[in-house]
Amino acid sequence: MKRGLFILWLGLLIVGCAPRGEINHVPLAVGGEAAMRRVFVATNRNLAPDGDLNLVRQNFGAPRSRELRYGWADISIPPTHTQGEIEWPGRAKPDPRRHFVTRDGGPYGGDATAARRGFLDGLTAASQPGRKDVVVFVHGFNVNNAEAVYRVAQVSHDFDAQIPVVLYSWASAGKIRGYVYDRDSVIYSRDGLEEVLTDLADNGWRVTLVAHSMGSHLTIETLRQAAIAGNTKALKALRGVALISPDIDEDVFIQQASRIEPFPEPFLVLISTADSALNASAWLTGKQWRLGSMQDKTRLAGLPVDIVDLTEFTGGDKRKHNTAFTAPAAIKLLYKLEREIDKRH
């Protein structure tokens, strides 16, 4: 079996055997030693038809919406939490002492204008007085809404985020065979992400933009789109960008980046040559590697980009695709980088 085909087969096996994440609503979850993180959500996924928590349910999923919706979720993190992990209950009864569970959440009500205002007011209420900094996280390929929400809560907790965190939950199919669907959803979702960034900029927020995997492709496409449209306000509101394991063709990235003006700084690209998920993606596209698994760093020479190589970091995700979120040593490194960025601003 050819190496690329074997990698793809292995990826299918791993994902196929793993149960998918879903929201577990335990209203009295927060208490005792459990920590709680609020995740703000902006999404172009279609609403689920049932339940008060429809914005954060797993079945709020793949179908694309022509309008943005906004909401929030309070996620309880167990006192036994291991850094880098999401403690899913699996087939067990959800237990806030041992598992991630959702205490509360839902969409902001009213028409589109009222929902957007509720979202922005929620960010203000969650911020330190006089500070208007926010992190916007863009998830990657094959991620359902529940997995995205819980990942943001885990990252926010493990990185000890002192500012509110927004999840841009774009309409991924949430299945391994949905790669082409997700690539199309990236193009579909650019306007929504630009709208979120523009709203934040118009209301005086400074944004740290973090994207993972295919979400990096969505992010760089959106920044390019904003630059071409002359939306410099949204670009100037960026206090830093980090692309983690970016699933982008490196030639495409160079072309995209060349059109972005002003170019956000600092701009980090986190890579690993051992990333088996990106190796499978490269095989699908007929290339040796993707941007996030690149082996010739000189290809980005001339761009104001800092490359952070996580290849040698151990622990966490065995596929090396989520190292930045799951390996304790990488988390510590990125924590220091984030604090350095904070000092610059």
Domain locations in the chain? 3-344
Report the distance separating Cα 122 and Cα 118, nearest Å. Answer: 6
Q: In this predicted structure, what is the pLDDT of residue 6?
A: 35
What are the distances in angstroms from CA 126 to CA 135, 148, 240? Answer: 12, 20, 21
Q: In this predicted structure, what is the pLDDT of residue 52?
A: 46
Reading the chain (345 residues) residue by residue, the pLDDT tens digits are: 344 433 333 343 334 345 678 888 888 655 567 899 999 999 999 876 654 455 555 456 678 999 999 999 999 999 999 999 999 998 899 999 999 999 989 889 899 999 999 999 999 999 999 999 999 999 999 999 999 999 999 999 999 999 999 999 999 999 888 999 999 999 999 999 999 999 999 999 999 999 999 999 999 999 999 999 999 999 999 999 999 999 999 999 999 999 999 999 999 999 999 999 999 999 988 899 999 999 999 999 989 999 999 999 988 888 999 999 999 888 887 777 777 766 666
Report the distance separating Cα 35 and Cα 80, nearest Å. Answer: 10
Q: In this predicted structure, what is the pLDDT of residue 30?
A: 53
Cβ-proximal residues to 142 (8 Å cutoff; 6+ apart), any chain: 15, 172, 173, 174, 175, 176, 178, 179, 182
Q: In this predicted structure, what is the pLDDT of residue 332?
A: 82
- Across the beta sheet with 101-107, what order do the strands follow? 101-107, 64-77, 35-45, 165-169, 133-138, 206-212, 238-244, 267-271, 306-309
The β-bridge partners of 207 are 134, 238
- Report, at the CATH architecture level, how domain 3-344 is classified: 3-Layer(aba) Sandwich (3.40)
Q: In this predicted structure, what is the pLDDT of residue 125?
A: 97
Q: In this predicted structure, what is the pLDDT of residue 304?
A: 95
How much is the pTM?
0.91
